[in-house]
Amino acid sequence: MREILISQKIEHNKEYHALCPNCSSGSVSILLETSDFKFSEEKFAISKCSNCQLIFTQNPPLPSEAGYYYKSKNYISHSDSKVGFVNKLYHLVRSIMLNRKRKILEKLTNSRKILDIGSGTGYFLNELKQHQWNVTGVEISEEARIYCFSKFNIQTHDPSYLTSLKVDEKFDIITLWHVFEHIYDFKGLLENIFTLLKDDGKLIVAVPNSESYDANYYKEVWAGYDVPRHLWHFSISSLSQILSSKGFNIDQIKRMPFDGYYVSLLSEANLKNRFGFINGFKVGFISHIVSLFKKSKCSSLIYIISKTKNHV
């Protein structure tokens, strides 16, 4: 029934406009229509605000309903599944990226107190723990929290931890690895992070890039949209504007070089292309090469962020 209603709304309202959830502008238009290829097969519209440039998923499920869309066994960061070629590739790349992520952080601070928001099954926290970091994790999935504790003996928290009166400590580093695009109240989260982060601390945000080469190539079947789990589809300019409004400044932007391959393979799977791995690797390779010369075309980006001085 929900799919029918959404399809009717898109068809009936060719010039449908809503207020932008970020800047409240009415200058919003539908950019494309895509589907939840991973789980429900429901259709969703993706819109863009011409004022702040934010791209967002129209009519997402209510926060209380969102958990339903994470039940797929294909949702690797929660299920930790190694079944299938793409899942195995994910785990191989993850083992490489864990080391790279840690080294990025160790260049930013001599202190080692970190809060990882969206810690999943705990592999990143464990990588840091093995190198004498003081780790704290927040994860919405109870199943993932249980897995993290049973496998790594790391106790992580549900999201209420972020607003708990017990949280009176400050962190040197706060990270959100492919998490920020899932957060309903991203403004509220940034306000909490501003309070929890030391004045000289660093916020790390990694998100898919809606202006990447592979996003432009695959369009409505681009796996980076991943509706309705991904609510927001950031570009450098839109994320910069949002961070600035909450007292943050982007210091550096780094590429995630493997994401172009992985996302392209998933996009080919969305097309149900039997031999899609060939074209997926080709598109991923082109995306990788293009991003070497133009970072803004990389499939996913890592933003290294600091607090703005004298922000009220």
Q: Which of 187, 175, 173 is nearest to 245 (CA)?
A: 187
Q: How many Cβ atoms are within 10 Å of 103's Cβ, its own excluded?
A: 10
Sheet arrangement for strand 43-49: 28-35, 43-49, 55-57, 232-233
Using a 10 angstrom Cβ sphere, with 0-12 exposed, 13-18 middle and 19 or more buried, the burial of residue 295 is middle
Q: Kindly report whether the global pTM for this prediction surpasses the value 0.95.
A: no
* The predicted structure's pLDDT at residue 5: 32
Sheet arrangement for strand 113-117: 134-138, 113-117, 171-177, 197-208, 300-307, 248-255
Per-residue pLDDT of the chain (312 residues; tens, 9 = 90+): 333 333 333 343 334 547 899 999 999 999 999 999 988 999 999 999 999 999 999 989 999 898 888 876 655 454 455 555 555 666 667 778 898 999 999 999 999 999 999 999 999 999 999 999 999 999 988 889 999 999 999 999 999 998 886 667 799 999 999 999 999 999 999 999 999 999 999 999 999 999 999 999 999 999 999 999 999 999 999 999 999 999 999 999 999 988 999 899 999 999 988 788 899 999 999 999 999 999 999 999 999 999 997 765
User: How far is CA 311 from its chain centroid?
Assistant: 26
Q: Which of 74, 22, 299 is nearest to 186 (CA)?
A: 22
**CA angle (95, 179, 155) in 5-degree steps:** 70
DSSP annotation of 140 reads: S
**Helices H, strands E: what count in the chain?**
10, 10
Give the separation between CA 86 and CA 281, rounded to whole angstroms: 12
* The predicted structure's pLDDT at residue 13: 38
Beta carbons of 152 and 126 less than 8 angstroms apart:
yes
Give the separation between CA 270 and CA 279, rounded to whole angstroms: 13
Residues ≥6 apart with Cβ < 8 Å to 46: 30, 31, 32, 33, 34, 55, 56, 57, 58, 225, 227, 233
Q: Which domains does the chain have, with CATH numbers?
A: 2-307 (3.40.50.150)
